[in-house]
Amino acid sequence: MTDNFKVLHERVAAKVSRPLSLSDPDEDFQAPVDCRWREETVAKAVEELSSTDLQIIFQSVMPAGTFEECLYYYPFALERFSLSLARPPQEEINADLLDNLLAWTVQNQKRLEAYGLLHLSMKCILDIYAQLFACNQTTTCECLLEVTRFLRYVAKRQWYHLVPQPSLPYHSTTIWRQD
């Protein structure tokens, strides 16, 4: 685990507090079972949240909370995915969690930038990208593809500029940085 995740945790904690509820801004979680899930999710300690809970919080089409409510869980979700890559191969990697986190990052890039978190978020995503290269699990191929698509999107939008980075694996000779 890199210091980037720790710093992201600290900066997010300085900006937003733990939500008392997930407000369901798009009213997609109105069924009784969904209302119960929202209540149970905010009542759990963050460490007890499953990767599926986090995946649902960050659904790109219908997030479970507002930007600020989801932002509280963002560093935990990135770190949870990163930690899942370090676990034994028999443990499942939740590729949908990564996909939702990347989509949420893209959709909220301006807000993340306004909060001073976009650059640090990118560093955490790049840490995950590097971990994916070192991992020998089949699921990581799908995850690598998702992160590669994300980085291409970032490049097209010129969030970051290409900088040669010879320390990364052969297939990835670039890294992104903010000017």
pTM value is 0.77
pLDDT digits (tens, 9 = 90+) for 44-90: 899 998 888 888 888 877 778 889 999 999 999 999 888 887 766 54
Q: With residue 163 as reference, give the H or E element that holds it.
A: strand 161-164
Q: How many CA atoms lie within 13 A of 74 on its CB side?
A: 35
Q: How far apart are the two ends of the chain, measured CA to CA in Å?
A: 25
Q: Is 18:41 a contact under the CB 8 Å cutoff? A: no
Nearest to 145 by CA among 164, 134, 129: 129
pLDDT value of residue 155: 64
pLDDT digits (tens, 9 = 90+) for 2-32: 699 999 999 999 999 998 887 777 767 666 5
Residues in contact with 178: Cβ distance below 8 Å, sequence separation at least 6, in sequence order? 118, 119, 122, 159, 160
Nearest to 42 by CA among 64, 25, 63, 62: 64
